[in-house]
Amino acid sequence: MPLLKFRLEKTGAPLWFRGLIPPITLALTFLLTSGLIIWGKANPFEAYYYFLIDPLSGRVSFLEVLVKSTPLILTGMAVTVAFVAGYYNIGAEGQLYAGALAAAWLGTVLGGVSTPVAILLMVLGGFVAGMLWALIPALLRVYMNVDEVVTTLLTNSIILFIISAILNGPWRDPQSGWPQSPEIAESTRLPQLAARSRLHFGFVLALIAVAMVWFILTRTSFGLKLRAVGLGREGARFAGIHVERSMLLAALISGGIAGIAGYVEVAGIQYHLIGELSPGYGYTGIIIATMGGLTALGAAASALFFGLVETGAQTVSRALGVPVYLGEVTQATMLLVILGMFILQRYRIRRA
Amino acid sequence: MVVALFIATLTAATLRVATPILLAAIGETFSERAGVLNLGIEGIMFFGAFVSFFVADLTNSLWTGLLIAVVIGCLLGVLMAFFTVTLGVNQHVSGLGITLLASGLALFAFRLNYGGRATPPSIPPFEQLTPLANIPILSTILNQYLLTYIVFLVIVPISWWVMYRTSFGLKVRAVGENPEAADAAGINVFRIRYIVLAVGGGLMAMGGAFLSLAQLGAFTHGIIAGRGWVAIALVIFGNWNPSKVMLGSLIFGGAYALQLRLQAMGLQLPIPYETFLALPYIVTIIALVIAGRKASYPAALLKPYHRE
């Protein structure tokens, strides 16, 4: 691309520019969304204060950020594992609901066991359920070459119908008539971590998941194989890696982690299964994994930031009356801006 | 007579259900044929449904609503092109980004403009055309919205003709199969991809607008409900050929219409009605498996083109 006096050279951007990427991303995102805030008849600077600073300034709202980021960390991990292996699992949303379904059932039958045992069994249950829901698209992808993007998107719709059928049928609350499952037993709920806050043990589970995914991806030969498959299937095959098996495992682990996200929302927040359990955590997980550069620690950091954005959007909505969907728009805008930034950091501008 | 009437109503409903999905699927067909998977489809349909409703409500003109929705759909397609063609970033992620952005914007604007109302806002929708109104069975089938006629009788044939009988169609296919060779032959790869993504975005938004302006006369959060994803499946099922994509949309529409009829008849069935709602999605997956064996993806799909 010969510009008049400058040319773009395809080498890494200078280091000082890379350091500037996060602040530029943030500034650009808020510049782009400020029009909406003005349309919502609010002052953008005031809105940004409520959005990003206010939630961190109080104890309760700070803990709420961690509460909001808990399922996001898990779906972020789920998507990271799959995407690293080049398996485009868009189905974390559906797998989350599969895990939630299992947790809601286990929560009603495990009333007699102690809380630690219940946690262990329900983590396992959520994982297996998410894995099973991920199994069909994964098998179709690996052995019959059916595009996993399309099948996981379609299975996301299907599980919502299944949940609706169950909640309007056998599990409909007999007293209120609401389409929600019976409350799970007291002992199967995730313990609270702090008084006067919704923060629960699921946050610890999410951090454990981060540690495990980090370890698997960076410190094991299995993780190395996954990354090799993601970089190029033919090359990986040539290097003697079982490409099919690696992708299948990545898909199943991914589904399992997403299932745990469903479990923590049921056992930590709602205490029963509802149709609106997730406002799209599975899809947000895709943004989070991308922004985290498909690394465990990067995704965890972006999940925490997105927890702040979700909490902040509610604060802005309450304080200034700007619709809460500002949060979704901000997340999507930030994703698109950072995608552009990834490209920019590959170039240098030189005088021709 | 009863059976004939049942089949006629079913056929009519099939065409209606297929219309929005077919519109979007034709848009997606062209995008993918040029090498770009546009997962922005769901969000563009959703935005089209919202904008058309909003503008129609504001101006009291359904046609203005439709027009503006198509224009904005084109712009969203151009945005998608900017990311996937100019910047060459991952098509899955940027497409989902567009979907999330468009859905968020539509919900934001809807809440801002209609938030305080107790009853969901609605507008008088498009009227159906009633040709041959006095021939019993036939009129049942032919009572359709103008857009349905336009899709099946104009857009699909023209799409097929453009794709296989014009030099533009040849260029689109060349760009999606082998962009290096196309470039060497003097085809502007970037321009072709921009054009098809823009036109495709317009068709997707038109599909969304059909739902709000014709079928519902309203805008709801669940108005698209995964129809965009179904459209993407139909493109694969139809092997990237507009006429086969149309066939796929009729199969999906038929399964959906049958489900609607069975619900409307109020039969006491031993299985929950959600089974029928899920059925078209399951049928689509099965169809994908069957078609998948001989699916011939455009060779350059998902691959950004960089001129060295």
Domains of chain B from N-terminus onward: 2-115+144-292 (1.10.3470)
- A169 at interface of B, judged by CB pairs closer than 8 A: yes
How close does chain B come to A267, measured CA to CA in Å? 26
Q: What is the pLDDT of residue A156?
A: 94
Facing residue for B89 by CB, picked from A154, A331, A342: A342
Mind listing the pLDDT tens digit for each residue in A134-159? Answer: 999 999 999 988 889 989 999 999 99
A 18-57 residues with CB below 8 A of B? 36, 39-40
**Residue A6: what are its φ and ψ, rounded to 5°?**
-120, 160
Nearest residue to B196 (alpha-carbon basis) of B173, B218, B165, B177: B173
How close does chain B come to A326, measured CA to CA in Å? 6
Stretch A103-118: mean pLDDT: 94
Q: What is the pLDDT of residue A4?
A: 57
* Percent residues over pLDDT 70 in chain A: 94
Q: Where are the domains of chain A?
A: 1-40+323-352, 61-319
Q: What is the pLDDT of residue A22?
A: 80
Q: What is the pLDDT of residue B14?
A: 95
Is the pLDDT at A263 greater than 60? The verdict is yes
Q: How many residues does chain B have?
A: 308
Q: What DSSP element (H or E) covers A348?
A: strand A348-351
Chain B neighbors of A145, CB-CB under 8 A: 292-293, 295
- Which one of B85, B91, B229 would you mutate to disrupt binding with A, by most A Cβ within 10 Å of its Cβ? B229
Burial of A195 (0-12, 13-18, 19+ CB in 10 A): exposed
* Per-residue pLDDT tens listing for chain B (308 residues): 788 888 998 999 999 999 999 999 999 999 999 999 999 999 999 999 999 999 999 999 999 999 999 999 999 999 999 999 999 998 988 999 999 999 999 999 999 999 867 777 899 999 888 888 788 888 888 889 999 999 999 999 999 999 999 999 999 999 999 999 999 999 999 999 999 999 999 999 999 999 999 999 999 988 998 899 999 989 988 989 999 999 999 998 998 888 888 777 776 667 787 887 888 788 888 888 887 777 778 888 888 888 76
Average pLDDT, chain A: 91
Count of A–B CB contacts within 8 Å?
135
Q: What ipTM describes this predicted complex?
A: 0.89
pLDDT band at residue A350 using 50, 70 and 90 as cut-offs: low
| Helix boundaries (H) for A145-242 | 148-168, 202-219, 221-231, 233-238
Chain B neighbors of A7, CB-CB under 8 A: none
Beta carbons of A147 and B282 less than 8 Å apart: no
Mind listing the pLDDT tens digit for each residue in A18-56? Answer: 778 888 888 999 899 999 999 998 999 999 999 889 999
Mind listing the pLDDT tens digit for each residue in A264-322? Answer: 999 999 999 999 999 899 999 998 999 898 999 999 999 999 999 999 999 999 999 89
Facing residue for B285 by CB, picked from A145, A154, A286: A154
Residues of B near A (CB-CB distance < 8 A)? 37, 39, 83, 87-90, 92-94, 96-98, 100-101, 103-105, 107-108, 111-112, 115, 225-226, 229-230, 232-233, 236, 272-275, 277-278, 281-282, 284-285, 288-289, 292-293, 295
Candidate CATH numbers 1.10.3210, 1.20.120, 1.10.3470, 1.10.10; the one for domain A61-319: 1.10.3470
Rounded distance between C-alpha atoms, residue B108 and residue B105, angstroms? 5
Q: Which neighbouring-strand residues pair with B122? A: B218
Facing residue for A150 by CB, picked from B112, B233, B282: B233
State both tokens at A131: 């894995």
Nearest CA in chain A to B235: A150
Cα distances from A291 to residues A106, A284, B94, B273, in angstroms, run 34, 11, 12, 40
Strand pairing report for A6-9 and A348-351:
antiparallel
Q: What is the pLDDT of residue B173?
A: 96
Which residue, chain included where needed, has tokens 């567009």?
B98
